[in-house]
Every structure is written in structure tokens, then in C-alpha cells.
Amino acid sequence: MTPATQRSISDEIARIHASADPGETRTRLDFPPYRSSLLRHPTKRPLVVDPEDVELAAPVFGQSDVDPTEADLTLHPQGEPIGERIVVTGRVLDADGRPVRGQLVEIWQANAAGRYVHKGDQHPAPLDPHFHGAGRCLTDDDGWYRFTTIKPGPYPWRNHHNAWRPAHIHFSLFGREFTQRLVTQMYFPGDPLFALDPIYQSITDQKARDRLVATYDHELTTHEWATGYRWDIVLTGAHATPIEQEADDA
């Protein structure tokens, strides 16, 4: 990023933040610094359509549907992945602070070099043959989820010259019906790319942005094995976890 480009994006983000309504916590769908959002966000009011009966039934996933090993992204039959091993855990809660049990939590991410196992990702960083970058688990009776994985690296994207995404993990959660789904991102504390990332900055409220950043947890960290991060997810209410923009960032 040239200094002029950096100043231009930073100035535009600051201007939008200054003009935002107090307490505006939802992600801006039409956010000029995030260029693809201008072309891909909805431009018309949603139509009210009655869902089919099958979509009104809550998703039900039993223990036989999700194997416990699917929550450990470091497992590979031919070797261990390269990178910093981490544990990410937290609780899924509703607006009243009650745990959401049996919730299917899915994640996907780049490897330690910042590259996804996806044909659309062709930037010149190495693929790790021992890391597939996706996992899932069910929340327990107290709403806890837990993943073991590799800390992802930042990666370039084509929003502007020299644009890099902060390291993050994508999360997907179904609600009480198939028509309800939360897709969002978890970031890591202290990332120097936060101020330069239009996706992260498209949430104009600082407190809402902070809810997307995990907390380092030394009690969760395991001696000579893995560092630990805590990240709770609130599905509804004033403290809800912000939803990811519909425009694709990869």
C-alpha cells in the first residue's frame, strides 16, 4: 500500500465512523472502503416469503452426526501441520445469557502461511499438505464449543494495492431454524492490520468490533503444546456477535 492509498482509506474510514449513528452495531453493507460491498450487497428491501414447513424445523445434530475428531484440525494421517498450535473455545449464548445446547459450530480458515485450500486462492504462499483448514463440533449442555487448530496467517486480497486481511477464523452457526444462520469472523488480539482492514472497520462501533476479537487465555494455554483463546458468541440481542458481510473477502 502506498502512503497515499493508506491515507485515503484511513481518512475515508474515519469520516464514515464519525458520521455513524451512536450505537450503530451492525456491519455496514454499503461500505466504500470495502469495494466489493458496493457491488454485491442487497439494494432492495427483502421480500417476506413463507418458508416451507421443512425449514421451520430446528436443525438437529446428534453425537453420531459429528465425530469428536472433526474439532481437531491438526489431525492428519500423514503428518502434523506447520504453524502455531492453538485452542479456541467459548460459549454460544442467547440474548438472556442462556447456553445454546447442541449447536452446530463450523469453522474454516487459512493455513499458517495465509493460504486457503481452495482453487480460488492462488496467491504465492505454500499449501500445507497436512492442513485442510475446516472443522466442526457441537456445543455441550453448557453451550461450550472447542477447537484445536493452527493460528492462521494474514493474506493479501484485491480490495486495493497492498491490501492484507488480519488473521482470522470464519465461524458458521445455525439458529433454531434452517432459515437462521450466523456467519462471522473471529480475530486475534493486537493485530496491526486492524486499522487498515475495511472489512473489520465496516462495523462502525468500537465496542461491537471488539466483540469480534478473541481474548488470550493463559489458563487455557497448555504447557509446551498450544496457546489458548476464548471467544464467546451471542446469537441475539444488544450484545450479539456482528454478522459478516455478504460480500466475499477471499
Q: Is 76 annotated as catalytic? A: no
pLDDT tens-place string over residues 74-91: 999 899 999 999 999 999
133 burial via Cβ count (<10 Å: 0-12, 13-18, 19+): buried
State residue 250's pLDDT score.
45
CA 174/CA 181 separation, integer angstroms: 4
Residue 11, amino acid:
D
Predicted TM-score (pTM) of the model is 0.85
Q: CA nearest 81: which of 152, 186, 145?
A: 152
168: annotated active-site residue:
yes
Cα gap 199→26, rounded to integer Å = 12
Catalytic residue at 170? yes
Catalytic residue (choose from 116, 145, 187, 200): 116
Query: Does residue 216 have an active-site annotation?
Result: no
Q: What is the pLDDT of residues 176-199, one digit of tens each?
A: 666 678 899 999 999 999 999 999
Catalytic residue among 115, 136, 170, 209: 170
- Which one is catalytic: 136, 165, 209, 211? 165
Q: Does domain 6-41+68-118+132-234 have CATH number 2.40.100.10?
A: no
- In the chain, domain spans: 6-41+68-118+132-234
> For 17, left (φ over 0), alpha (ψ -120 to 50), or beta?
alpha
